[in-house]
Structure 1
Amino acid sequence: MIKKTLLFATLTALPSHAQELVVYTYDSFTSEWGPGPLVEAAFEAECDCDVTFVGTGDGAAMVARLQLEGPGTDADVVLGLDTNLIQAARQTGLFTTAPDDLAQPDLPIAWQDDVFVPFDWSYFAFVYESDALANVPASFEELAASDISIVIQDPRSSTPGLGLLMWIDALYGDDAGQIWGGLADNIVTVTPGWSEAYGLFLEGEADMVLSYTTSPAYHLIAEEDAGKDSAMFDEGHYLQVEVAAALAGSDQPELAAQFLRFISSQAFQSELPTTQWMYPAYETDLPEGYDTLNVPEIALLQAPELAADRRDAALALWRNALSQ
């Protein structure tokens, strides 16, 4: 009897397994230099749960994975889609509405969506070494007419690549093929994602790389290098707003809702300027150096439904121009 009593006491003293929240996101978010480890630790301290970030490549690959997995997906939350992918994600029917008590985001645009929750934003731009270019183009036409070499990302797999596609589409519509035709000679290569493209730029393989107006902040703050800049186009710059959403089939709906609320917290938002190198989507102090960044005078953004409608035609123009 004593042995049975001791065994029962030992078993009941063992800690129960913590709830697990599975978050699909892109690879750079989960990297050791990204916000993932910091966000994970902060939320686990608040929720008394285990957070598992699953890298899925880039945002477009994330949607493709969800379409493949369907209602049986392991994801409770998806983090890292943007407005160009919202409609495709919504059409999967896999998402549920966000909590109705979320904080109001602080964005350059009015935000109204009952499913997708913004967490950061910036403007797409071409980044360059400021002492390496004598004549910085101020438009896509000027860039296409120059001998400046660029690296871009594939719009079929990369959210920045898709952002560039929609940026040119927003400006030129059905005439975008002419711009892509002019840019074809400038393009050194098209990479699957942002990290590969930016790495090639840093290695000196191209004069410019498609990135963000906030990218120079990394070099200024982390490396004390003020030599990177973003080219300002008079015609305007396309805005990227990155979002998160909860899966309707999650077995942790309350935990998923808690994570969506956590996104607006200072514990989450304060990490983004120096890990994501993007603007936070909710009001928080920005580190010194962000005040030196270029801010476009014209912000461009197509509504999710319009971006979805225009995507295939824009992609066909891009593919045709670059295959010539």
Structure 2
Amino acid sequence: MSNHVTVKDLIDAVHLKVLSGEEGINRTIITSDVSRPGLELTGYFNYYPRERVQLFGRTEISFTERMTSDERLLVMRRMCQPDTPAFIISRDMVPPKEMIQATEESGIPLLQSRFTTTRLSSNVTNFLEGKLSKRISMHGVLVDVYGLGVLIMGDSGVGKSETALELIKRGHRLIADDRVEIYQQDETTVVGEPPEILKHLIEIRGIGIIDVMNLFGAGAVRSNMPIQVIVHLSLWSKDKAFDRLGSAEEFTRVLNVDVPKITIPVKTGRNLAIIIEVAAMNFRAKSMGYDATATFEKNLENLIELNTAEDNE
């Protein structure tokens, strides 16, 4: 599932100024790729990516200044195709009058930004990738715990939302409750965000819907977050085997990314919020090179070797 993105969405997100072609701001953008026309300015259009946003920086604008007015108008008209979404000028540079004329004739928005070309290209690409990427929906609660994106999952009624509420009271932040919309940002990162209708809301059985932002303030919510670890809450049973040392690594495949998974048994009297806090801190420590399990196993090996040596004396 991909979101519908218009030029107006891009204008609002990247803070662009409309110079001309305002009637075309509802044009649809179908790709996150951005084109910086080079060969096209020389008249070579065999492989012109006309469906992309066309970005003009200092290099492109300076090249057009070497062209005659007729050459500029001819090239700009050829670039203005029915499926070309928009033209963007970086660094608040003034576009050639022929570009303004061609975009007005075709109804294609001509936009301007104060950012440098590289930064503008990155901002546009990141926004479009986030909106146009394939998305899936997963049942769970996504929380920012010490800067770590923790997706809390488990059976219905196991206490996911209640645990998230306790985490919010302890100073952590809610991203999404009940349903998490997930897209892949790159080869190693998946990002979660709430559906628009559930933004900043959490459901607690017996109380109903709670507006977290209204009750706890803007610092208690986030709009999106990379999912770095999945915590699965599982009802405790003596018939189930749970990892006690943390040496068994588990992963859950989300889109094309393997996300580390921690299974926590749920039992009366356990403070799940504190356990998840500690799990997040321990996961961060592992990612920084410290593994308490490895340290314990090494100490145990040393103790066994020492006892063996004493027995042999």
The bucket for the TM-score relative to the shorter chain is under 0.3
- Bigger RCO (CA 8 Å, 6+ sep): 1
- When the two structures are superposed, what TM-score results if normalisation uses the length of structure 2? 0.23
Structure having the higher helix fraction is 1
More strand as a share of residues: 2
The structure number with the bigger radius of gyration is: 2
TM score, norm. by length of structure 1 = 0.22
